[in-house]
Amino acid sequence: MKLGDMAEITRIFTAADVADYVSLGGASMPDGVLPEPLIGALFSYLLGVRLPGQGTNYLKQETELLGKARVGEPLTARVEITRLRPEKNLVDLETTCRTSDGTVVARGRALVYVADVEGRPAA
């Protein structure tokens, strides 16, 4: 891993995805509006599967929600390494989520613990 490494995923949430979320105890939203925790789930996926990947321990996430995402709209979530602290096994990442026209609907940062910061290959 190195500064500037990034990973991203594009996902379209369907009405069925939202119904599943609500059935698990999530709050319902006005018709067509995507529940905000589903945006956060995109960041969780990227951190745990792509960058840094398996074995990552999520310590902190700060997210500023800037707009509403719509059901059926392509969303691209991205995480980018902004700081490596190998002496503490910590990785800081910037997080963003954009609509297909480039509108930022969420941005923030994440802090994760990775046991082998220096030994991880680049994404």
Q: 75: which residues sit within 8 A by CB, 6+ positions away? A: 10, 11, 12, 13, 34, 39, 42, 69, 97, 98, 99, 105
Take residue 114 and report the two structure tokens written for it. Answer: 């990775």
pLDDT in tens, 21-47: 999 987 777 889 999 999 999 999 999
For domain 6-119, give the fold: Thiol Ester Dehydrase; Chain A (3.10.129)
- Domain boundaries along the sequence of the chain: 6-119
- Tokens read off for 4: 């500037």
- Confidence at residue 30, expressed as pLDDT on a 0 to 100 scale: 85
Q: State the burial class of residue 116 (Cβ atoms within 10 Å of its Cβ: 0-12, 13-18, 19+).
A: exposed
pLDDT at 119: 67
**DSSP assignment, residue 67?**
S
Q: For residue range 58-94, what is the model confidence (pLDDT) as tens digits?
A: 999 999 999 999 999 999 999 999 999 999 999 999 9
For the entire predicted model, the pTM comes to 0.90
